[in-house]
Amino acid sequence: MACNVLIFSAYVVVMSFFLCSVHAKVNMNASFHLTSGDDSLRGRSLESKKVVFDVRKHGAYGDGQHDDTKALAKAWAAACSSSQPSIVLIPKGKRYLTKHITLSGPCKSSITFMIEGTLVAPPKRSDWSKETIRHWIMFNGVSGLTVAGGGTVDENGKIWWQNSCKTNAKLPCTEAPTALTFYSCSNLKVENLKLLNSQQIHMSVEDCTDVRISSLTITAPGTSPNTDGIHITRSKNVQVTGCIIKTGDDCMSIEDGTENLHVKNMVCGPGHGISIGSLGDHNSEAHVNNVTVDTVRLYGTTNGARIKTWQGGWGYAKNIVFQNMIMENVWNPIIIDQNYCDSATPCKEQTSAVQVSNVVFKNIRGTSASKEAIKLDCSRNVPCQGITLKDVKLTIKGGGSDAKSTCGNAKWKKSGIALCFQLSSRGGGGSAARRGAEGRDERGPDEAEHAELGKNASGGDGPETAGEGIYRAPAAGAAAASGHLNIQWLEMMDYRIK
């Protein structure tokens, strides 16, 4: 009798486990089910549902000729008012002509803006008014937004480039649209998209928090003016990973109000590199804090890692790290410019400046297209503080020449293989005299052979004598003293950039 009870109990336990397992599997599968707000793909979910709002069901043609702006607006309005998580679907295989549009929140639930096809901007400048010229597609005040789908955003920028004063100095300087603008959004994801030929900036993130950007391919000709890839301003807690950017301006521009930004695994070029700034223009206040740029490959860019601030501004750019970077034929591999002046004539020297401090350039190697591989042009009145160069190995493109570096009004330290040891005592209005810098050498005895200092190096703490530093490249195959570089990822991405 006891045995029979035990056997029956075991049977109950096994059957209960089996039924629970089946129930769990049903729930797991059901959580991926989509329903349609347009009376198609009907279904039920035991855990969650996403309602699909297909722009075609709201009147979109998808032929690239008819204006589909109203259809997109209707689909967005329906999704935004849904109490269930929703998808606005831009179906694949079609081109949807869209004029200026603002897609606003707050919405009742999370929305996925699924671009599987192509959104295309109007081909004529006359399709834009003075009120709409600054933005093409804007997402305003949306929380829990995901923009994805593997499709294309074609910004039709050629006509704008041809009429830019930067292309033709005889033309007046006018505004042009930013392709995608995210304003005052939170919990934002933008991933797996192709952005092409922006009229001006490809994507701008403004006044946003908790942002994840990944797997974007952004492309425009190297001669296209002002076509920044990703622009970040007044935003906090932003991650940018796995992006390929080829444009006519900054691959990334990082401006006032940016805090807690992490950029990783990026390929950049052509373009103007990765820039913090410009900051403090028109005597304004600017703040940038806690920025890390990690594992980046740059090809033929104007700049590599750059910080630029205007004279006369105030505030700070601090706690910044550029590390694990490969640069190929980059004109200004490492540059800090506190005397930035976008003028044909020298700017008047002013007494205030944005404070640049606690900046690290670490584990950077490659080739410089110019003889001046590192340039620290800091303010005479507000010098750069706490600049660190560690394991930097840059040679002249083609070899056979010495790479020069200039450092002025900067307090710095270096270790491992590093270039920037000397000062260039050039004075002048728009470019403050580079003198009065302090530095110290933290290399060990075994590292000294990797760099020969010019005769004016101090070799210890305290001010250095004015002069121009010359870096003599290490012999081929010389290894960096320390540091780690994710070469495998960069080489994997290599074929995609060419």
Q: Which of 202, 231, 272, 450 is catalytic?
A: 272
Percent of the chain exceeding pLDDT 70 equals 72
Confidence of residue 400 (pLDDT cuts 50, 70, 90): low
pLDDT for residue 157: 95
Instruction: State pTM to two decimals.
Output: 0.80
How many residues are recorded in the chain?
498
Is the pLDDT reported for residue 475 higher than 50?
A: no
Percent of the chain exceeding pLDDT 90 equals 61
Q: Beta 469-471 vs 403-408: how paired, if at all? A: antiparallel
3-state secondary structure labels for all residues of the chain:
CHHHHHHHHHHHHHHHHHHHHHHHHHHHHHCCCEEECCCCCCCCCCCCCEEEEEHHHHCCCCEEEEECHHHHHHHHHHHHCCCCCEEEEECCCCEEECCCEEEECCCCCCEEEEECCEEECCCCHHHCCCCCCCEEEEEECCECEEEECCCEEECCCHHHHHCCCCCCCCCCCCCCCEEEEEECCEEEEEEEEEEECCCCCCEEEECCEEEEEEEEEEECCCCCCCCCCEEEECCEEEEEEEEEEECCCCCEEECCCCEEEEEEEEEECCCCCEEEEEECHHHCEEEEEEEEEEEEEEECCCEEEEEEEEECCEEEEEEEEEEEEEEEEECEEEEEEEEECCCCCCCCCCCCECEEEEEEEEEEEEEECCCEEEEEECCCCCCEEEEEEEEEEEEECCCCCCEEEEEECEEEEEECCCCCCCCCCCCCCCCCCCCCCEEEECCCHHHHHHCCCCCCCCCCCCECCCCCEEECCCCCCCCCCCCCCCHHHHHHHHHHHC
| Domain assignments of the chain as residue spans, ordered by start | 373-498
38-53: per-residue pLDDT in tens? Answer: 444 433 342 347 899 9
pLDDT for residue 418: 52
**Residue indicated by tokens 């009742």:** 108
pLDDT for residue 297: 98
181-231: per-residue pLDDT in tens? Answer: 999 999 999 999 999 999 999 999 999 999 999 999 999 999 999 999 999
340-395: per-residue pLDDT in tens? Answer: 887 778 778 888 999 999 999 999 999 999 989 999 999 999 999 999 999 999 99
Q: Distances in Å between the alpha carbon of 25 and those of 22, 28, 45, 243?
A: 5, 5, 13, 36
Is the pLDDT reported for residue 453 higher than 70?
A: no
pLDDT for residue 167: 84
pLDDT for residue 417: 54
221-272: per-residue pLDDT in tens? Answer: 999 999 999 999 999 999 999 999 999 999 999 999 999 999 999 999 999 9
137-196: per-residue pLDDT in tens? Answer: 999 999 999 999 999 999 999 999 988 888 888 888 888 999 999 999 999 999 999 999
Q: Is-catalytic flag, 272?
A: yes
Q: Count the Cβ atoms, other than its own, within 10 Å of residue 26.
A: 12
Distance CA 164, CA 171 (A): 7
